Amino acid sequence: MARVDDMSPTRTLTVSVPERWMQESIGDVPGADVVVWDVTGPAPQDLADRLEAVVLPYARGYDGEVVRALPHLATVLTTTTGYDGVAEKVGDGPAIVTAAGVHAAATAELAVALVLASLRGIDVAARDQAQERWRPQRRRSLADRRVLLVGVGGIGEQIARRLDPFEVTLTRVASHARTDERGPVHGTDELIDLAADHDVLIAITPLSEQTHHLVDARVLAALPDDALVVNVGRGAVVDTEALTAEVTAGRLHAALDVVDPEPLPAGHPLWSAPNALITPHVGGNASAFEPRIVEHLRRTFGELARGEEPATLVRRASH
C-alpha cells in the first residue's frame, strides 16, 4: 500500500468530456477529475478556473472561443482521427491530442461496405425495392478487383486487413515509398501511373497541404473506364469538380462518405448521379466508437495525470 501511495499523483488534473455517458463509462482515473462540459457555451466559472484538458465533442460543432478563454488549458483532445481545422479554432497555445485508432474499425468497415455496395449494386437494389422492382443484373464482384489504397495509417491498415480475404490485388500508396510488414508502399509520385492498372481507388489520408486534391483530374483520368473512387478520409483530398465531371459523364463510379463541401449543396450533380453513392460522413459514427473512445480517453487521462506525453499527441503545447 505504501508503495502504491508513493506512486500516486500529487495533484489532480481537471479534464472535461462532452457527454455524460463518457464520464460514466470512463469511471475513476487516478489523478484526474473527469467532469462533463459540452463546449457549446462558456464553461461555468468554477470549472473554467481549473480545466486543464478539454475533450471536443464528436460529430457536432463546438465553440473555439470558449476553449481559448480557459486560463489554464494545456491540452485539447479531439474525438476524431484527423485534426484539420482544430488549431485554427482553439488557438496556438494548447497541446493537441487526437483519437487516432478509435475510429479505425468503424471507418475501415464503412470503406469496405461502400466498395461492396457500389460494385454489387446495393444502392440500386435499395431504390428498386421502394418501387417493388426485382432486376437481377450481373455486376462486378470485389473478387478479382485491383484495389489501390491511398493512405496507410491506422485506418488504412485496417482497410487492408479487411480486404485480405476478398481475393483482391491490393496496392498501397503513401506520402513516400517505403516497405513495411505488409510489403511495398508506393509514393504519391507514382499515383497517376498506378491508377491506370486499378479498378478501385480508396482514399483514406488526413487532409493537409500535401493531400489537398491529391486525387485530382489527372489521377482520375488515368483510372480505367468503370473504375470506382471511394473516399472515407476528408472530402478535399479528392477534387470534387473533376470527380463530378467523370461520374456524370458515366465513366467513373464514386462512393463517398466525405465530400467537399460537406454536405454538397442542393442540386449538386453528384446527388442524382446514378453511379454515385453518398453516405453522410458516418465513417466513425458507429457503435464501435463508444467502447473504443472510452478506453482511449481513460488511457490518455492517465498519461496526462502522470505527466507523460500522450501516445496520440500531434502538437505540443506552445508554453
3-state DSSP call for residue 209? coil
Long-range contacts of 272-280 (CB under 8 A, 24+ apart): 273/244, 273/247, 273/248, 274/124, 275/247, 275/250, 276/247, 277/114, 277/117, 277/118, 277/123, 279/110, 279/114, 279/255
Of 318, 281, 308, 298, give the one whose Cα is nearest residue 87: 318
Candidate residues 64, 94, 121, 151; the one interacting with a second copy per rule CB under 8 A: 121
| Minimum gap (Å) between residue 1 Cβ and a second copy | 37
Question: Which one, 120 or 213, has the nearer CB to a second copy?
Answer: 120
Q: Residue count at the site for a second copy (CB under 8 A)? A: 61
Per CB under 8 A, the segment of 62-70, 136-144, 175-183, 243-251 that binds a second copy is: 136-144
Per CB under 8 A, the segment of 20-28, 146-154, 156-164, 305-313 that binds a second copy is: 156-164
Which grid cell is 118? 457500389
Q: Let me know: does 245 contact 270? Beta carbons within 8 Å.
A: no
Q: How far is CA 220 from CA 68, 165, 172, 277, in A?
A: 41, 27, 17, 17
Candidate residues 19, 31, 166, 306; the one interacting with a second copy per rule CB under 8 A: 166
| Minimum gap (Å) between residue 77 Cβ and a second copy | 20
Rg (CA), the chain: 22
Candidate residues 289, 293, 301, 313; the one interacting with a second copy per rule CB under 8 A: 289
| Minimum gap (Å) between residue 140 Cβ and a second copy | 5
| Minimum gap (Å) between residue 271 Cβ and a second copy | 5
Dmax (CA) for the chain in angstroms is 73
- x/- contact string, 224-263, with a second copy (CB under 8 A)? ---------------------------------------x
Output the 3-class SS for 26-62.
Answer: HCCECCEEEEECCCCCCCCHHHHCCEEEEECCCCCCC
Tell me if 146 contacts a second copy by CB under 8 A.
no
Question: Which one, 172 or 281, has the nearer CB to a second copy?
Answer: 281
Q: Which residues pair with 238 in a beta bridge?
A: 215
Residues that bind a second copy (CB under 8 A): 59, 105-106, 109-110, 112-114, 116-117, 119-130, 132, 134-144, 158, 161-162, 164-167, 263-264, 266-268, 271-272, 276-282, 285-289, 291
